[in-house]
Structure 1
């Protein structure tokens, strides 16, 4: 999966917000004053034979998954979620059947999901990224979830995963994974540059100064870029900027969304570092996501900044010695940009508690099987017990980035209107490396635009 920004411009996001507000106003009431108790009280007999609809991203793969229930056959996101669904349909004790309701590609997913909410007939269970959840929870478009009464053990969830499903003290989603930025390394180029440990593993830099020094060595000894980053038409530059600020102890936006901290010394340090990579020829400012991937796989960059979703693919296809690692900590604090896929239960007009309960049984099943998902996809399980299991740690390259999963992953602030804020930041900071805009001017304008976006 290519994790790019949610396909929603600021203007279309505003339209979607209006639609969601209308939807939340028309949702039906529960059968009593306590929806969670009504859901928990649903019996096995009531669930028997229930059919629910699922809206998800992750693509289409019917030709390789039709009738398949063996989860060990899953080799991609699409195959993993489809086979898990097949297996649930075949084996769940309640006779629940899950049917797919659209949502093949992430790029168009949110437009379709918003339309279903506005039309009053959303799927019974749906995907959301954690950073999108606050916009739906604030409009009451997804129901709160009493995980304890349903036997969903969120005490096993990592801090980053747990934080991504909460809203105003309530659980509004079930985590499915964490995905984060990693350092994908061409070990052959590191070896050629002499940047390896005694055991031949790549020696990654531990400070911004060391990073630039190593980049110079790679350029001089190999003639290659030190790192490939999707600088053009992609949010990867924002992700690097964000985590470098976090590594200095900074936050671009406070956790409550009330304070914007973009025009700061930490942000200036981060942006100057990013531009130095371009100015010194250590990275190529012209490549987009596909171009940076192609550059790395062609052996033209010693390192690639990309996510967990690419680990399995590169391990199987890279024509050189490949290794993945936690992205280097260049300042005081380990911190890596991260996001999360979650499952939510959209509020229905008829408030059918049997449908709600059936959807939550499926969400519980998916949470309990994040080991299958994480091993098949490269994403990190949200469950600590899985991350520390032998099966997970022995899977391809997983032990190389378990620190990211357990400690370094840093999700963006869990606030409403996050996407317009990110877009405004990216527009300004990217103008410094793409159009040579003054760094101070870019940060000042980003500060003002984000304050404006969050005030809406």
Structure 2
């Protein structure tokens, strides 16, 4: 191996070796040199195929942020993989997402981090640029995974600088939830699908069902997710196609925020609704209609006597669009030091992906077509209903640092507008100026 080989070149060669692309042990040894660990150069097929691993015993560190109700679902799947693959011990470490993204880069660089991890779609480019994670094109090809196996929107979103850095596990969009008992009392047949129907339903809920505030608009989470959906519905976007400039202060952005703000102004929503307070109100049946993540479905199920249904986010603008994110499997640079770990990681990713119907039950939409098209998935009423939104999903551009721009810019502007602290256009303009500065700084920081 050349002394000037980069970590990415090394990871590519080791990945190829783990798939048996380098058939003889001597071929990989010649590349890796004498520093290769014992068993680092297995013969072709020694690691099994697909979701099995038959190489030497190996421990695999798997980190994620599944600290909520989704955690036990993933823990069970990890345990089942370990039983099916006795030569692999996958240990799962769960952190709050904020701590996770702060700790992973340093932990990986010190060799004390994850070998395999989960990252949201807007974090892939950042961690690729920081050399925390490695390209997975060979993982995808080794598992014979192509775009045709996944929802196209999530498959393409995992690419940065023409290389794939994520194998998508799921898509989790906003959903539209309604209190069906209150809607029936108001004379509304089903959840409305468009602007006229939505506004009429809110009015009927007030006048006929006696619900004082049928649609609570939060000042924080998930208001900026609602804004993202709406601005795209009105023909705009948060950023331009390259992620180089903020565009959320467009006419579409103004119209989106004015529509949200109108429910506070006309009394359909209380003022100063705090983070997730609308979800508490929905549980208490004080809020008849709410937009929230698909993952909330299991929370609603826990509430006795709450009659509810789910539907696609209504089309308030000219075209359907909905915010969503996605959990993706990643492999870290730490794992490239041992081809056994790479092979075990491949098997683990394949195993969970193929069985993501179990993950769907945690309140997720499987990214894999074969799982979504199964009879078992179609029996999951909420998940299959919200999966109909996949053609309308919007993701942020694949640009390093893009995930860090949200909170201090348009999320802050949405908060100020909802609270009545600033006028719509002024708040969006100020935030867009700050976002442009941050995007420019990110280009220099990541040399993108």
Long gaps (5+) in structure 2:
21-41, 48-53, 442-448
- Asked whether the equivalents of residues 28 and 351 of structure 1 are also in contact (C-alpha less than 8 Å), the reply is no
Distance 2:253 2:5 in 1: 43
CA separation of 1:31/1:338 partners in 2, compared to 1, >3 Å: closer, same or farther?
closer
1:158 aligned residue (140, 151, 160): 151
How many angstroms apart in 2 are the aligned matches of 1:339 and 1:44?
Answer: 36
Residue 418 of structure 1 and its aligned partner are, at CA, apart by 1.5
Match of residue 299 from structure 1: 285
- Provide the C-alpha distance between the structure 1 equivalents of 2:12 and 2:99, rounded to a whole number of angstroms: 36
Scaled by the length of structure 1, what TM-score is found?
0.83
Note the C-alpha offset of 1:216.
2.2
1:368 and 1:397 mapped to 2: Cα distance? 21
- CA apart distance, 1:369: 1.3
Higher gyration radius (CA): 2
Partner of residue 6, structure 1: none
Count of residue correspondences? 405
The question of 1:408 aligning with 2:410 is answered no
Q: Is the aligned partner of 1:34 residue 2:13?
A: yes
- Distance in 2, Cα, partners of 1:129 & 1:33: 23
Change (3 A) 1:150 1:385: closer
Q: Using the TM superposition, give the Cα deviation of residue 223 of structure 1 relative to its aligned residue in structure 2, in angstroms.
A: 2.9
Classify the secondary structure of the residue corresponding to 2:119. Answer: strand
CA 1:407–1:302: 2 relative to 1, 3 Å = same
Q: Take 1:124 and 1:428, find their aligned partners in 2: how far apart are those partners?
A: 38
Deviation at 1:286, TM superposition (A): 2.5
- Does the 8 Å CA contact 1:30/1:351 hold for their aligned counterparts? no
For residues 266-307 of structure 1, give each alpha carbon's deviation from its aligned partner in whole angstroms, at most 9, with x where no partner exists. 111001101101111112343334422110111111112111
> Which of 418, 422, 442 is equivalent to 2:402?
418
Q: 2:303 aligns with which of 306, 309, 317?
A: 317
Distance 1:152 1:383 in 2: 10
Q: Structure 1 residues 193, 348: closer, same or farther in 2, change over 3 A?
A: same
Structure 2 length as normaliser, TM-score?
0.84
Q: Are 1:239 and 1:337, in contact at CA under 8 Å, matched by a contact in 2?
A: yes
Q: Does 1:106 align with 2:93?
A: no
Cα offset for 1:90? Answer: 0.4
CA distance in 2, matches of 1:125, 1:413: 24
Determine helix, strand or coil for the equivalent of 1:47: coil
Match for residue 362 of structure 2? 377
2:181 to 188, 198, 203: 188
Superposed displacement of residue 169, structure 1:
1.6
Q: Does 1:212 align with 2:196?
A: no
Q: Measure how far apart 1:26 and its partner are.
A: 12
1:59 aligns with 2:67: yes
CA drift at 1:339: 0.1
Structure 1 residues 353 and 210 mapped into 2: Cα distance closer, same or farther (>3 Å)?
A: same
Alignment partner for residue 429 of structure 2, among 425, 436, 444?
Answer: 444
